[in-house]
Amino acid sequence: MLGGRAVTLTVSSLADVSALLAALPEGEAAAAAAAAAREPRLTKPAGSLGRLEELSAWLATWQGAHPPRFERPVARVFAGNHGVAALGVSAFPPEVTVQMVANFQHGGAAINQLCRTFGIALDVVALDLDHPTADFTQGPALDEAGFLAAFQAGLDSVPDGADLLVLGEMGIGNTTPAAAIACALFGGEAADWTGRGTGVVGGALARKIEVVAAGVARHRGLPPLEILRALGGRELVALAGATVAARLRRVPVLLDGYVVTAAVAPLEAARPGALDHCQVGHVSAEPGHRRLVGALGKAPLLDFGLRLGEGSGAALAAGLVKAAVACHTGMATFDEAGVSDKG
């Protein structure tokens, strides 16, 4: 629902995507004010719940309502395959993408356990896995139609009435496009942005750095959404679409690791403030992620050594959001509990 109306979000050109970015709503000032007014009345020294206080205010602001809710959290994991995987940039073969999608569907992956732990409804969106994107060292990974179809899949994945969106991905080879997008957007050397992903070492890591550098060199000078089309993949583009839909539907977002953050970074570059409704759930052990969240001016919620993807770090951080809501809504005020508020 947008302003009480159910709205269908459709893109049929890159101009439509830009128009959606231009129409992103701001956070709701009245909800932010209500959260700020309640917090100091709760039975605790001012500020003593640290970033939990920030999280409940953030949730109310971007849900556009106070009190904030954690009743209908959803997770969306997008899967795609990549032309660059054929260049030996991953420690695993591309068929693992479809195999892991089946594992998600049977409930056997880490993300299934984490979502179950926190009561998050998980959906997996597999994007044309039989047709890897083009090798970005030779040309754009996606043509315009492919970009729009993937962006639309992301837009369509966000239900009205969700309280929180946890974003994840699966795609053998996709830390290579993540590194290339980050490097193209923020500059520096390919080696600064390229890590081991699923575990490449030695000559394969050197090769991966060369592939990232070649992709960045080939597509130099493009605007941010074109960088995403040229160097991204279907799951990355869908993640960007889901992030835009979430903002329009007033659903706050938890981003996951390097791949998810790189997928949505072009939105911020195209339209500063486009990620204000997003928290970075965790900082991945993939070194480029710390650099990227710094470039985006974000402070990750968790630093737990995860480097799995799937939305695992974001789902773990959803537990913090749930705790923040429980404290903000469930705690007694000084008046209610008869506790002196004199410090």
Ligand X SMILES: O=C(O)c1ccc[n+]([C@@H]2O[C@H](COP(=O)([O-])O)[C@@H](O)[C@H]2O)c1
Interface positions, 182-201, toward ligand X (CB under 6 A): 197-198
From candidates 68, 232, 252, 257, binder to ligand X by CB under 6 A: 257
Residue 259's binding partner among ligand X, ligand DMD, none (Cβ under 5 to 8 angstroms by kind) is ligand X
Residue positions annotated with a catalytic role = 310
Residues 271-290, one symbol each (x = binds ligand X by CB under 6 A, - = not), give -------------x-x--x-
List, in order, residues 6 or more apart from 143 with CB less than 8 Å away.
none
Q: Of the two residues 85 and 308, which places its CB atom closer to ligand DMD in the complex?
A: 308
Beta carbon of residue 250, minimum distance to ligand DMD (angstroms, whole number): 29
Interface positions, 5-44, toward ligand X (CB under 6 A): none
Interface positions, 88-147, toward ligand DMD (CB under 6 A): 92, 96, 100
Give the separation between CA 86 and CA 149, rounded to whole angstroms: 23
What is the phi-psi region of residue 338: left when phi exceeds 0, alpha when psi lies from -120 to 50, beta otherwise?
left
Residues 64-103, one symbol each (x = binds ligand X by CB under 6 A, - = not), give --------------------------xxx-----------
**Rounded (10°) CA dihedral 326, 283, 298, 164:** -40
Give the separation between CA 56 and CA 71, rounded to whole angstroms: 14
Interface positions, 147-206, toward ligand DMD (CB under 6 A): 170, 198
Q: Of the two residues 92 and 186, which places its CB atom closer to ligand DMD in the complex?
A: 92
- Report the candidate in 235, 306, 246, 312 with the shortest Cα–Cα distance to residue 275: 246
**Rounded (10°) CA dihedral 132, 137, 141, 144:** -150
Give the separation between CA 331 and CA 327, rounded to whole angstroms: 5
Beta carbon of residue 280, minimum distance to ligand X (angstroms, whole number): 11
Residue type at 62 in one-letter notation: W
Give the separation between CA 301 and CA 89, rounded to whole angstroms: 29
From candidates 142, 172, 242, 292, binder to ligand X by CB under 6 A: 172
Residue 175's binding partner among ligand X, ligand DMD, none (Cβ under 5 to 8 angstroms by kind) is ligand X
Strands (E) located in 130-241: 164-170
Residue type at 228 in one-letter notation: L
Instruction: Classify residue 24 as exposed, middle or buried by CB count within 10 Å of its CB (0-12, 13-18, 19+).
Output: middle
Q: Is 53 in the site for ligand DMD (CB under 6 A)?
A: no
Q: Of the two residues 168 and 241, which places its CB atom closer to ligand DMD in the complex?
A: 168
**Residue ranges that bind ligand X, judged by CB under 6 A:** 90-92, 169-176, 197-198, 256-259, 284, 286, 289, 307, 309-310
**Residue ranges that bind ligand DMD, judged by CB under 6 A:** 92, 96, 100, 170, 198, 308-310
